[in-house]
Amino acid sequence: MLYDCIIIGTGAAGVSAAINLKIHEKSFLLIGDADLSAKFRRAELVRNYPGLPDITGAALADAYLLHLQKMGISITDKMVSSAAVTKDRCAVFAGADYYESRTLILATGAAAAGTLPGEEPLVGRGVSYCATCDGGLYRGRDIAVIISSARFEHEVRYLAGLASKVYVYPTYAGAEFSSDNIVMMKSRAAAILSGEDGKVCAVRGTDGEETPVSGVFCLRESVSLSTLLPKLKVEDGRIVVDREMRTNITFVFAAGDCTGRPYQYVKAAGEGNVAAHSVIEYLG
Amino acid sequence: MLYDCIIIGTGAAGVSAAINLKIHEKSFLLIGDADLSAKFRRAELVRNYPGLPDITGAALADAYLLHLQKMGISITDKMVSSAAVTKDRCAVFAGADYYESRTLILATGAAAAGTLPGEEPLVGRGVSYCATCDGGLYRGRDIAVIISSARFEHEVRYLAGLASKVYVYPTYAGAEFSSDNIVMMKSRAAAILSGEDGKVCAVRGTDGEETPVSGVFCLRESVSLSTLLPKLKVEDGRIVVDREMRTNITFVFAAGDCTGRPYQYVKAAGEGNVAAHSVIEYLG
């Protein structure tokens, strides 16, 4: 199926865009965390979402989920690993799945810590973003996993069933695994190292220790923008957009924190609205 | 008093901006209809304000008013007639009052029907936007009033106490006056005409009939942008802004419908948020 639009991200911008596409009866996929983003829920108190004074991030997320439910919009709970554009359509890869659309709205949130030194040049040479896709390549070998959310813990368990040893570098608190071959690292990952063959050979921790591995899985809420869509114009970590939320790629739009500051719910929601209207205008 | 900012307009953009300036403890005036704009309340059903599904315009306006009240923000209920900028400050004229500020946020909504033919060149030559200011000039003479909202009916009654005859061209339904010297016109005003002395001499109705008058009061929710602030860069009836909601004048920002489509509450609220943050950054 060729969708009218694929929205990547379920923060305020993605949800706002989806609501408008639904009203205009466009076919679309809303891909992201079905519980809305962890960052969305993290806000203790939101004072400046007009009309909902003094609301917690969690309550606002629940209000958004109810809004989606009332409109019959479902979330495709996947992590997008990459996207590609051809002359007239977009392809989005999420895990082992593949979707096509006429337009794309990137609502991926503020870039996370960014990529690690060594990560980008080693994509496809030992660095992977998808356990399901690439796990089989590391059967019986040692790998590292950089994981940003409990949401991806099942992927670690899946990898542990294949690999010999799994060294886990969590970037969130409370990660715990019971398998014998999962080793929790005490330092954070600082860099991914390559050997003479130009492939991954080790991860260096922030403590300087190097752990030899054959592969590294980076399981994060969102992949870096340059990894997601290499042709996309990005400056200072934010997607360059105009007032209509158009990026440098004709049928690719962006909205929310990924377009830059201020990082605010209502700014993101407003931009999602504009992006959706630009998509509707583009579809004609 | 020199305010940090004056916000003109109490639609979604103006209210959103005010909330953020309050949080950042800036001194500001929020000038507009204390009941929020009539247009704000007119929406029968708003389906795309994320978090508040299927809300009426009136209920959303009430939620905004409650939000303002909770934050201790009051509205200065005046109609701004014009603004001016000097090297480093703004002056805002509202009726007979005058306010100064370091920055300005224009959140005046979509331009109304625009000005009438003949209106702009005759400002100060018989065309006025303020009954209180200029009513006295027309004692014992015939005048016309173009009125867009019941909110201004008291000004018509005030003018009727001064003028000989008042010809009223309402642009809303249900206007009614009881004074003997108030004449309700059946057609709409189509143009303002001037005599050989370059001053107002008549109003031409959409039926072609010309009614001789010495002055015309245009009582609208907002004055036209070119009248409001002549140096402001306006294209196709919308204020030209960049992604930070900056206009072509250094310390003047704009947000909401006055910056162009889509005309949507959450787009306006998002832009008000961004404009406020740009003001905060400018103030340093």
Query: What does the pLDDT look like over A74-96, one tens digit per residue?
Result: 999 988 888 999 988 999 998 77
Q: The dihedral of CA B73, B68, B71, A49: what is its sign?
A: negative
Q: Can you tell me the mean pLDDT for B98-123?
A: 85
- Which residues of chain A neighbour B277 with C-beta distances below 8 Å? 261-262, 264
- Which of B48, B236, B264, B265 would best serve as a mutation to test chain A binding (most A beta carbons within 10 A)? B48
Sort strands A215-219 and B80-85 into parallel, antiparallel or unpaired: unpaired
- Which of B266, B271, B282 would best serve as a mutation to test chain A binding (most A beta carbons within 10 A)? B266
CATH fold group of domain B120-219: FAD/NAD(P)-binding domain (3.50.50)
| Position B267 pLDDT exceeds 70 | yes
Q: Kindly report the CATH number that applies to the domain delimited by A2-112+223-283.
A: 3.50.50.60
- A277: nearest Cα among B94, B260, B261: B261
pLDDT of residue A130: 79
- Which residues of chain A neighbour B16 with C-beta distances below 8 Å? 48, 50, 266
Query: Does B2-112+223-283 match B120-219 in CATH topology?
Result: yes
A236 in contact with B, Cβ within 8 Å: no
pLDDT of residue B111: 66
Contact criterion met (CB below 8 Å) for A219 and A146: yes
- B215: nearest Cα among B154, B150, B162: B162
CA atoms within 13 A on the CB side of A127: 22
A282 in contact with B, Cβ within 8 Å: no
| Position B148 pLDDT exceeds 70 | yes
- Which residues of chain B neighbour A268 with C-beta distances below 8 Å? 270
Token digits of residue B117: 């033919």
pLDDT of residue A101: 98
- A117: nearest Cα among A205, A44, A186: A205
pLDDT band at B174 (very low <50, low <70, confident <90, very high): confident
- The number of beta carbons lying within 10 Å of the beta carbon of residue B183 is 14
Kindly state the DSSP code that residue A115 receives in the 8-state scheme. P
The CA distance from B130 to B179, in Å, is 20
Q: Can you tell me the mean pLDDT for B151-177?
A: 91
Search chain A and give the residue with CA nearest B67. A53
- A176 burial via Cβ count (<10 Å: 0-12, 13-18, 19+): exposed
Sort strands B165-170 and B90-94 into parallel, antiparallel or unpaired: unpaired
A107 in contact with B, Cβ within 8 Å: no
How wide is the angle at C-alpha B209 spanned by C-alphas B204 and B213, nearest 5°? 55
Q: Would you call A16 and B64 a contact, using CB atoms and an 8 Å cutoff?
A: no
To the nearest whole Å, the CA of A201 is away from the closest chain B CA by: 44
pLDDT band at B45 (very low <50, low <70, confident <90, very high): confident
Option in B53, B70, B242 nearest A53 (CB): B70
Q: Would residue B187 be called left, alpha or beta, if left means φ above 0 and alpha means ψ between -120 and 50 degrees?
A: beta
- B50: nearest Cα among A201, A16, A130: A16
Instruction: Name residue B232's amino acid.
Output: L
The CA distance from A158 to A126, in Å, is 17
pLDDT in tens, A104-152: 999 998 765 467 889 888 888 999 887 877 888 999 999 999 998 888 8
| Position B226 pLDDT exceeds 90 | no
- Which residues of chain A neighbour B47 with C-beta distances below 8 Å? 19, 23, 71
- Which residues of chain B neighbour A244 with C-beta distances below 8 Å? none
pLDDT of residue B18: 98
Contact map slice: B 35-54 vs A, CB within 8 A: 47-54
Q: Would you call B273 and A264 a contact, using CB atoms and an 8 Å cutoff?
A: yes
Option in A49, A52, A267 nearest B274 (CB): A267
| Position B114 pLDDT exceeds 70 | no
The CA distances from residue A220 to A105, A148, A152, B87, in Å, are 19, 5, 8, 49
The CA distance from A223 to A5, in Å, is 20
- Which of B21, B54, B267 would best serve as a mutation to test chain A binding (most A beta carbons within 10 A)? B267
A23 in contact with B, Cβ within 8 Å: yes
- B160: nearest Cα among B171, B149, B172, B152: B152
* pLDDT beneath 50, residues of chain A: 113
pLDDT of residue A220: 81
pLDDT of residue A192: 96
Q: Tokens 């409370």 belong to which residue?
A: A174
Option in B60, B71, B267 nearest A51 (CB): B60
pLDDT in tens, B200-214: 999 999 999 999 999
Domain ranges of chain A: 2-112+223-283, 120-219
The CA distance from B263 to A167, in Å, is 52
- Which residues of chain B neighbour A60 with C-beta distances below 8 Å? 51
CA atoms within 13 A on the CB side of B104: 26
pLDDT in tens, B71-94: 999 999 988 888 999 988 999 998
pLDDT of residue B110: 78
